[in-house]
Structure 1
């Protein structure tokens, strides 16, 4: 499933349609044959977008045009607009996966306008009062809400007479809509009502207490029900319905317009895999925090023993003996509503069995009651309340008869509900209240912006970024100059706010890799010594490697600089091992990603645009030896993080900052030199890092288990097969550094 793009008309309708055409084409290619796409659009251009989607997907793959009501009407010259549209298309309509959703019928709402009667346990039917219809909660619990339906039809059918409560009824000029044995079974089930001249079918509200969701969603107005954390945040109800209609647990959902992460949050809640994309770091940060801080219900899996037992309880059948593997693709155990019809009652032979079994008790009780009160009551004539003048024996017989009579009806009703057709409520899986769930593991990845090269009429490459005056890309968008301007204003921040390199001068330098000379005072401007720093700036879109640093350090040493300061968005893993060449220290400053927008960034110097975060100070010890915890086995090792080596500009020294400067650290216990895989994670926050998580989970935490995570010493692990481990450390500013160690 692919979720909606929101309509943003930045450069006019034609530009937007071109933008949308490209993305819809990609979405179509990504979809499986059973997949579907939802596009949310305003009404002013819905016909244009509908035509575009017909062109891309084919008009035969159009599924529905859904009207969603918003909180309030938008301004207009004529009638205000209060709705959006969601266009639903299938990749292949004949293979479309679709799950019907339902809404509950409500006497004071939708779907139940004809249900205006109620029946008591003694079979008396009366009309509901106005106050009861307007406030269904006031209806007594011993009343069953119903409406009457015709048992006859105008066309050919059956002609016969049937006795009901001592009277004979015929279909008169019409025809019975069912055979006689079917009607007799309906009478046994207490589903027939007799008036003076005709019989009617008692259709209970609980027989079909839901009605299908249509393409008009009038209950999606956000109003005060949506606490927005993002300007274009969509109501979760809208996304949830789209997702539940078109996917099953384990299916993949793509949302190319992440925003605040509503689609990802809903997908995570309902057990769907998800991918969401955005160009804004703010949006991704909001989405990540929202998902990681959320607490989700734990739904019973159909492929689990608990799920099998619940399914057995619902269907009144023996539990399945199939082995279970906890596979989410098998779905959840859902609540369901019976879809009871007269036909399903007629085909339920269990009603006769229940009737005969209870008659063996009820008939003797009725005869003894008649003898006790000198009456000749048939079953339907026995009063609900006993007479005050009755002897005690008669009162006891009466109470026992009604107890059995009500029990018979309850068992028949349960049989009818169990044997009837059911509709699954895909938005109501059964929840295990004893368990709580948080988000499964997910990653946040990024691709640096890239340039697209075209070919002109002479087969020459065209680089739009290198064209003069094209979008400010001339001379590589003056990237180096922009960085230097921000560097001059912002300076280079260390791990502590008081440790900062503030340049007194920053001038261009005509080197191959060194692009500027910076001057600053070590130890204070009044009493300190002035230092010359060589400035090396990495690529705008790319990673700085160790060979780059070595070459830049050689150039700095040849030019007699005191220190080399490198500025880059990313460094490769091996560059972390390089911190000095000869007498020249190498300070690696990581540039804030906001500098990608440097041309539009207001340069105030208040942000941490350039941050130096040194190497982690690590000890690798024998887990079973004297320096280890003693918890390990022979051959296992442990990692102890002592802190981070930080360059202090006031003294020019490099010293360990201690573990207090570390927010969290991770270990890849078998590093393959290609990707860092988190196998151990530890948190060293000054405050209790699990306090908020405990609050979210609302559960008791195993303190010993948490203690192993809130530690500067890792758990024991086996020596790596690859011969290397990697340690990644993140400070409280969110900066990270990774170092590889040979073991």
Structure 2
């Protein structure tokens, strides 16, 4: 037996045990939902009061303001349940098997994924709370956010929203067409996304250019505001092209009094062309209620020492004398060195850099609005201007005033006409972050065309949230917000209309490695806190509650208040006065002087008599000793600032993402249906032309009659001899075609079912349409849709009715935008994945993915690829027909989402186990107790297909 090394890392995840979410249906349960639960809910949001403040006006806004904003809130359906730790546990188990270790059974982390109360009906949706899991949702963010608020009770529950909308209104630049390439060339037709959700987002949003863009943002900001807690924040990242317009819209939605700082993020430098180049993006920070807002103070190091030299211009020498960097540089002739490396004075010469800060503040206060006597001079805080000292200036019989303690501690500096408060660089050494954020640049290891640097999102979340708080990102992209929220222990929901974006984000989070920060509510946290704060460890019981936060690094912070309120200085002063005063009097007698303490020079004169030299040396020795004791007392009583961006990690543990679900809106989300159940036409809406338009079904039928349906093989094309409307509920046309050759073949009747223009056809839709086709006496059902949900893949027949699933070329609903795409098959049968079950000698099973028929949207062809066309594929090794659990995950693309974890866990998981993640053949697994396994395959365009196998 191989012995495990004691230094091996354990794999952990964070749990949000106090948080819950509503029990929502999985896609498998859609057919058993109540009818009223399946239908979208109309949610109305009140428009602003136009009399409140100035507003930005754009085309169509007046008409919109006549009524409330009404949003359809359809239900959300869970497509997948993912637990990254379960995937790593399986690799650890495989490694142990190869090392011939005792085969310990790893717990089934999916067994209590939901945590629905015992005895509760799983199909009573929205009625029960269950375990929290983070969420990745495909759909229009407007409808998703409305659904979260109205159906799931998240109104007023979200702490932070990070919104990174398109910076402008150019279609190509905002959407990535494939997981394999983040290059998007403007004007290249083959680089324009064909995803229906994205096309709809483009059509709905930018039809009227900037006018539609502003409507898009105002609608989403209105719904987002409804989700925020009273202490919540929203950050909107935008470029210089539209920042002024978006600021006006946010003033309107949130109110100008709820505006935070405008944050400037430097992205690049240099000048190209005639005009200075914009070097920064902007982040607009608004609050639900500024008065109640939750904010955290963050600090940063000085970017370079030249900043320190500009701020901390003065120098206190070891002798106690004060001078300046400029004066030392002048005397030594090395100005450039000291102005760029001022800390050399501290490190090599024992000096202390300091600056003089304002010692006064506004207002009248009895013990602070007074003339102050310091070093024989009288200083006025500005009484005539209504100013006073920042600290008390009147001594009492019991204690010294705050200003007197500052004077005793040598913390006052006489400037030109006023005294200032001395702040040493070593008092803190950090600076509060400002609204100018430098040093970030673009995102490293970029996988998405418009990916944000993680550190930018990180800083925003740390400013406005605590561990356990809920964060929403309405524009997921590559999943940066979700990744950052996961790293810092925040709950997250991320939304996108792009299947490509969600495919990249899902892989990124599944393979991410995070540090395991020590929880404050843990025994390790209690011990760490005791060590850091030099106190006895707490004996309170612990629960591992993440809402208590982490154990953070902290930095001593000496402020003027720390000195002014330190009563110990009085004691130290009196003790040393009994020693120093007799020496001063003897020195004055020896030299026939009347020196006060501040007048005694540091240097001696050769003409002084020997006793005076001795007295002078003794006095300064005691004077320096007094200063050291006062400084030590101040340091001991210093405040401590928590560094919320620097929690202590447990290096013996590595953390992976917590459980999350992949969800989508119901098929109702995009159906263009009015109150009379008639299809609403949106095909050729134009910004300036509102002439009569052709209906979507009519256009599809005309193209279907002309183009026919191309099956996987070229020779299997279906060409219709006739195509006529049919008065059905789902079946809208009857098609006739010749099966076989013209002479001996027979005529067949095909029922035509057309899916939504901007949406996905579900399995339940196909079942209903096939049943209707059987009732109508048809020979075959031909479904035409832009996308099919994964569960529809295996549905190919209902009784005697074959079901052909034709993928429509997206050019059909992009006629205005893609006039020059060239000819191609408009209706193509989308093939199933080619999957083989491989039995093992020990009774276990493997799954091999041989390939999948890939629909090529640029040409409308079906290309039979091997595994090369697959971005990733998942296996539920015990599919219960209630939920798809990702128990095995394999990534065949060029990007390796597990690269960071491989480096961290190279001792725990052997290379052979890691290699299986990039394979078309699964690791072996036990036969399922349910008798079924499910395999889901996702290609690089984000299309998903799923196949279920029964295993005897």
TM bracket, shorter-chain basis = 0.5 to 0.7
- The answer (yes or no) to whether the contact 2:265–2:283 under 8 Å persists in 1 is yes
**Which residue is 2:719 aligned to?**
506
Which whole-Å CA distance do the structure 2 matches of 1:610 and 1:714 have between them?
33
Q: Is the 8 A contact 1:186 1:342 kept in 2?
A: yes
Q: CA deviation at 1:692?
A: 3.9
Cα distance, 1:502 vs structure 2: 4.5
Confirm or deny that 1:612 pairs with 2:831: yes
What residue number does 2:365 align with? Answer: none
Alignment counterpart, residue 526 of structure 2, candidates 308, 326, 329: 308
Query: 1:242 corresponds to which residue?
Result: 460
Partners of 2:782 and 2:836 lie apart in 1 by: 21
Moved more, 83-92 or 142-151: 142-151
- Tell me the residue number matched to 2:226: 29
The Cα shift of 1:302 comes to 2.3
CA distance in 2, matches of 1:111, 1:62: 31
Tell me the residue number matched to 2:161.
2
Aligned equivalent of 2:436: 217
Partner of 2:427: 207
Q: Secondary structure of the equivalent of 1:15?
A: helix
Give the one of 101, 108, 122 matched to 2:298: 101
Query: CA-to-partner distance for each residue in 1:508-557, whole Å, 9 max, x for gaps?
Result: 56597674648799xxxxxxx99999877654232244745865996999
Aligned equivalents of 2:236, 2:792: Cα separation in 1? 45
Gaps of 5+ in 2: 1-159, 170-205, 330-334, 361-367, 381-391, 577-612, 686-690, 854-864
Aligned pair partner of 2:340 in 122, 126, 134: 134
Partner of 2:588: none
Match of 1:116 in 2: 313
TM-score calculated relative to the size of structure 1: 0.67
Alignment of 1:202-601 (within 5 A): 203-214=423-434, 216-217=435-436, 219=438, 222=441, 230-292=448-510, 294-348=512-566, 381=620, 416-417=634-635, 419-447=637-665, 448=667, 450-454=670-674, 463-465=679-681, 474-476=695-697, 478-479=699-700, 482=703, 491-493=710-712, 500=713, 502-503=715-716, 506-508=719-721, 515=735, 517=737, 539-541=754-756, 542-545=761-764, 547=767, 569-570=787-788, 573=791, 576=794, 591=807, 599=815
CA distance in 1, matches of 2:877, 2:512: 27
1:525 matched to which residue of 2?
none
Does residue 899 of structure 2 align to residue 678 of structure 1? Answer: no
In the other structure, the counterpart of 1:666 is 875
* Structure with the larger RCO, 1 or 2 (CA within 8 Å, 6+ apart): 2
Greater shift, 91-100 or 60-69, is seen at: 60-69
CA pair 304-487 structure 1, distance change in 2 beyond 3 A: farther
SS at structure 2 position matched to 1:240: helix
- The two structures, once aligned, show a CA RMSD in angstroms of 5.7
In structure 2, distance between residues paired with 1:687 and 1:82: 32
Count how many residue pairs are aligned between Structure 1 and Structure 2: 643
Q: Is the 8 A contact 1:644 1:661 kept in 2?
A: no
Per-residue deviation at 1:26?
0.9
Q: Is the 8 A contact 2:263 2:437 kept in 1?
A: no
Q: Distance in 1 between matches of 2:897 and 2:447?
A: 24
SS where residue 27 of structure 1 aligns? Answer: helix
Q: Is the 8 A contact 1:2 1:254 kept in 2?
A: yes
Which residue of 719, 738, 743 maps to 2:947? 738
Q: Distance in 2 between matches of 1:646 and 1:85?
A: 44
Residue 321 to residue 66, structure 1, CA distance change in 2 (3 Å)? same
Asked whether the equivalents of residues 590 and 611 of structure 1 are also in contact (C-alpha less than 8 Å), the reply is yes
Cα distance in structure 2, aligned partners of 1:534 and 1:59: 64
Contact 1:244–1:427, Cα closer than 8 Å, also in 2: yes
Name the residue aligned to 2:284.
87
SS at match of 1:427: strand
| Structure 1 pair 345–462 and aligned structure 2 pair: CA distance change class (3 A) | same
Q: 2:664 aligns to what SS in structure 1?
A: coil
2:345–2:352 CA contact under 8 A, matched in 1: no
Judging changes above 3 Å, is the alpha-carbon distance between structure 1 residues 628 and 218 closer, same or farther for their aligned structure 2 residues? closer
**Contact 1:38–1:88 (CA<8 Å) still a contact in 2?**
yes
Contact residue 357 and residue 422 of structure 2 kept, 8 A: no
1:156 aligns with 2:339: no
**Greater mean alpha carbon deviation, residues 543-552 or residues 704-713:** 704-713
Give the Å deviation of 1:730: 2.9
Aligned mate of 2:352, from 114, 120, 145: 145
Deviation, 1:415, is 6.1
1:693 & 1:280 partners in 2: Cα distance? 26
Is the 8 Å Cα contact of residues 554 and 643 (structure 2) preserved in structure 1? yes
Q: What is the TM-score with the length of structure 2 in the denominator?
A: 0.54
| Whole-Å separation in 2 of the counterparts to 1:77 and 1:437 | 50
TM-superposed deviation, 1:678: 0.6
CA contact (8 A) 1:3 1:38 kept: yes
Q: Secondary structure at the match of 1:446?
A: strand
In structure 2, distance between residues paired with 1:589 and 1:39: 41
Cα distance change on mapping 1:590 and 1:463 into 2, 3 Å: closer
Structure 1 residue 97, shift from structure 2 partner: 1.2
Distance in 1, matches of 2:866 and 2:167, equals: 50
Q: 1:653 matched to which residue of 2?
A: none
Change (3 A) 1:538 1:426: farther
Say which is worse superposed, 82-91 or 183-192, in terms of deviation: 183-192
Q: Is the 8 A contact 2:708 2:717 kept in 1?
A: no
Contact 2:521-2:544 at 8 Å conserved across structures: yes
Residues 102-129 of structure 1 deviation map (CA, whole Å, 9 limit, x = unaligned): 3434674547634234456675766433
How far apart, CA to CA, are the structure 2 residues paired with 1:39 and 1:420? 37
Distance change >3 Å, CA 566–CA 148, structure 1 → 2 = closer
Q: Structure 1 residues 486, 66: closer, same or farther in 2, change over 3 A?
A: farther
Quickly say closer, same or farther: Cα 1:334–1:558, change in 2 above 3 A: closer
> Whole-Å Cα distance in 1 between the matches of residues 763 and 525 of structure 2?
53
Displacement of 1:739 after TM fit?
Answer: 1.9
Larger Rg: 1
Is residue 116–residue 146 contact of structure 1 (8 Å, CA) maintained in 2? yes
Partner of 1:156, secondary structure, is coil
8 Å CA contact 1:220, 1:237 repeated in 2: no
Give how far 1:612 is off: 1.9
Query: Cα distance 1:333–1:486, how it changes in 2: closer, same or farther (>3 A)?
Result: farther
Q: Deviations over 1:310-332 (max 9, x none)?
A: 33233222222223333222222
In structure 1, the gaps of 5 or more residues are 160-168, 359-373, 384-401, 494-499, 522-528, 630-638, 648-656
Q: Is the 8 A contact 2:305 2:340 kept in 1?
A: yes
Q: Secondary structure at the match of 2:353?
A: strand
> Match for 1:62 among 259, 263, 266?
259
Task: Say which SS state the counterpart of residue 32 (structure 1) adopts.
Answer: strand
- 1:132–1:138 Cα contact (<8 Å) kept: yes
Distance 1:336 1:515, change over 3 A: farther
Per the alignment, residue 363 of structure 1 pairs with none
**Residue in 2 aligned with 1:727?**
934
Q: Structure 2 vs 1, CA of residues 593 and 264 (structure 1 numbering), >3 Å: closer, same or farther?
A: farther
TM-aligned CA deviation for residue 340 of structure 1: 1.0
For 1:416 and 1:487, the matched residues in 2 are separated by 86
SS in 1 for 2:562: helix
Cα distance change, pair 339–276 in 1 and its aligned pair in 2 (3 A) = same
Asked if the contact 2:681/2:694 (under 8 Å) is kept, the reply is yes
